Amino acid sequence: MSDRLSRVFAALADPTRRDLVARLSVADATVGDLAAPYDVSIQAVSKHLKVLEGAGLVSRRKEAQRRPVHLEAEVLDLMTMWIERYRRQAEERFQRLDGLLAEMNEPTADTPPLEEGTAS
Amino acid sequence: MSDRLSRVFAALADPTRRDLVARLSVADATVGDLAAPYDVSIQAVSKHLKVLEGAGLVSRRKEAQRRPVHLEAEVLDLMTMWIERYRRQAEERFQRLDGLLAEMNEPTADTPPLEEGTAS
DNA sequence: CCCTTGATCAACCAGAAGGTTGACAACGAG
DNA sequence: CTCGTTGTCAACCTTCTGGTTGATCAAGGG
Say what percent of chain A tops pLDDT 90: 69
pLDDT in tens, A66-85: 899 999 999 999 999 999 99
Q: Could you tell me which residue, B108 or B65, shows the higher pLDDT?
A: B65
Cα–Cα distance between B42 and B30 in angstroms, integer?
A: 11
Residue B105, amino acid: N
pLDDT value at residue B93: 84
Q: If contacts are CB pairs under 8 Å, which of residues 11-70 in chain B contact chain A?
A: 12-15, 18, 21-27, 37
What is the CB-side half-sphere exposure of residue B98 using CA atoms within 13 A?
A: 6
Confidence of residue A105 (pLDDT cuts 50, 70, 90): low
Residues B22-65: pLDDT tens digits?
999 999 999 999 999 999 999 999 999 999 999 999 999 988 87
- Using a CB-CB cut-off of 8 Å, the residues of chain A touching B57 are none
- Has residue B107 got a pLDDT over 70? no
C-alpha span between A85 and B91 (Å, rounded): 23
| Cα Dmax for chain A | 77
The pLDDT, as a whole number, for residue A5 is 96
Task: Indicate if the pLDDT at residue A117 is higher than 60.
Answer: no
| A84/B39 Cα distance (integer angstroms) | 28
C1’ D15 / CA A2, Å: 14
What SS3 class is residue B63?
A: strand
**Distances, alpha carbon B44 to alpha carbons A4, A120, B38, B53, in Å:** 23, 19, 10, 14
Residue B103 scores a pLDDT above 90: no
Of all residues in chain B, the one with the smallest CA distance to A15 is B6
pLDDT at position A92: 87
Confidence band for B115, pLDDT divided at 50, 70 and 90: very low
CA distance A23 to B118: 11
Confidence tier at A107 by pLDDT (50, 70, 90): low
B93 or A48: which leads in pLDDT: A48
- Residue A34 confidence (pLDDT): 96
Give the pTM.
0.83
DSSP secondary structure, B16-46, as one string: HHHHHHHHHTT--B-HHHHHTTSSS-HHHHH
Query: pLDDT value at position A99?
Result: 72
Band the pLDDT of A111: cuts 50, 70, 90: very low
Percent of chain A with pLDDT over 70: 80
pLDDT at A109 over 70: no
Residues with Cβ within 8 Å of residue A20, at least 6 apart in sequence: A34, A45, A48, A49, A52, A58
CA-nearest of A19, A53, A15, A33 to B86 is A19
**Which of the residues A6, A9, A79 would you substitute to probe the B interface, choosing the one with the greatest number of B C-beta atoms within 10 Å?**
A9
CA contacts within 13 A on the Cβ side of B105? 6
